[in-house]
Amino acid sequence: MRVLLGVILCTMVLLLPLRSCAAAMRPDLTITTIKQDPYTMSKGSQMEGYCMDLLSELAKKLDFKYNVHLVKDGSYGRQDETGAWNGMIGEVVRKEADLAIAPLTLTAAREKVVGMTKPFMQTGISILLRKDISEEAGIFDFLTPFSVETWVGILAAYLGTAVSICVVARLSPCEWSQPQTEENSFTFSHSLWYTAGALTLQGAGPHPKALSGRIICCTWWLFGLVLLACYFSNLSTSQGSDSNQLMVKGFEDLANQQGIEYGTLSGSSTLAFFKNSNNPTYRRIYEHMERAKSFVSSMDEGVRRAKEGNFAFIGESVSLDLVAARHCELVRVHEVIGMRGYSIAGTLGSPMLKNLSVAILELSEAGELAYLRSKWWASSCMADAAKASPFQPHSLKGMFLVLALGLGLGVLLAVLELTTKSRSNAREQRKSYCTVLSDELSQRLRTTATNQKRSQETTDKDKA
């Protein structure tokens, strides 16, 4: 037993130096970065942000220590006329830093002088501008809550209801009891007027007396009430949307207008994209910026000019999303072009880059990168109401169905009322039921000329 304890103690004594050596062999990397919200920010003597959290996760996975410093000249890195690189890329090239972790765009020029990992974030090029730079209201914008098909359906429902009221008022004995001597008040023109008044909640008398006519009117009132509620709800929502009424919805709109100035960050990869593009629209944008000298020296300057108005700032979509989340008066347009990625830069040929790329992919698959994005891009603005799409006929198909059933039931009741009265008159007059019904129909469905003649006779009697 004593021999066994002695062996264990000797083994532990031998392993302690090995552990110390392993700890001492952990690489101590020099990391260069640039201060940019929310990637890297100062918090007292420490740094925090998306890139710092990402660096911490990578260090845990690959077991390395690191020291972080801010790039001396405050630049990302671009090549001058002599071929020398400045910024973070320059520090990595000169081996003043082992890695550069920042929103560094993966480009062919940078890939030639430094090694780049797999992208840890995808971005593109978009436009930032004020929300109140919007289109003037159109003359017929009040029609936008409903689609064209829905308006056609509403017109058809309106005409169908007016015709049904007119027909029911003629057929129903409860509505028109003496067609030989009385004038029918529900002419087609009055039915149109009555239906329009009911739709606008104004009312127009006289109202139907028969049950069949009242059923049709009540169904139309319900239809009109729901229709107006949907209309005003969608109208207020569509008028309250900002990002979908922007005068500039994309780069084509930006190139074709003259009222808004636009520019991008001087010496940035975004500027290089437009400069090297063969797309006619993008070339026009670059030539305009070069002619107007509308470049900005920093991201903060671009944001400030956009907030002042009448200026559209072109930049990385991810960075613009953050700006829009922090400055509620600004909005990023939906169009994104030139998709590219943000990568970590390292010394050309460094074996560390392969391990970093694998670790980045593992973090992405585990959802860690998405979590970091949601953590640092949290918006301080109230969410805008989504743009309301025009109501389609299928959205109101329930109300159209109820209206159709109401019209059908009203007409059916009017026919039943007429047949019941005709059957009763046939028994009293000892005539054929078909004959009495045919006479009733001929009297009720006669042309308006007879009514006009009767009306003229009544007027002459009144004058006499």
Long-range contacts of range 427-434, CB-CB < 8 Å, 24 or more positions apart? none
H or E, element range at 460: helix 448-463
Structure tokens at 409: 């039931």
H or E, element range at 407: helix 397-429
Q: Which residue has the tokens 């006929």?
A: 393
Cα separation, 411 vs 405, in Å, equals: 10
- Phi first, then psi, for residue 265 (nearest 5°) are -70, 130
Is 110 annotated in a binding site? The answer is: yes
In Å, how far from its chain's centre is CA 230? 19
Is 270 annotated in a binding site? The answer is: yes
Secondary structure of 53-64 in HEC code, one letter for each residue: HHHHHHHHHHCC
Helices within 246-396 (DSSP H only): 251-256, 269-276, 280-292, 299-308, 317-326, 352-365, 368-376
Polymer length of the chain: 464
How far is residue 328 from each of residues 191, 324, 363, measured CA to CA in Å? 52, 6, 31
How many C-beta neighbours within 10 Å does residue 191 have? 22
Relative to beta strand 28-33, strand 99-105 is: parallel
Task: Give, as one character, the DSSP assignment of residue 141.
Answer: G
Full DSSP string of 151-179: HHHHHHHHHHHHHHHHHHHHH-TTT-S-T
How many C-beta neighbours within 10 Å does residue 111 have? 13
How far is residue 308 from each of residues 256, 257, 305, measured CA to CA in Å? 22, 19, 5
Is 11 annotated in a binding site? The answer is: no
Is 144 annotated in a binding site? The answer is: no
Q: Which residue has the tokens 């090029």?
A: 125
Cα separation, 313 vs 22, in Å, equals: 51
State the binding site: 103, 105, 110, 269-270, 316
State the binding site for L-glutamate: 103, 105, 110, 269-270, 316
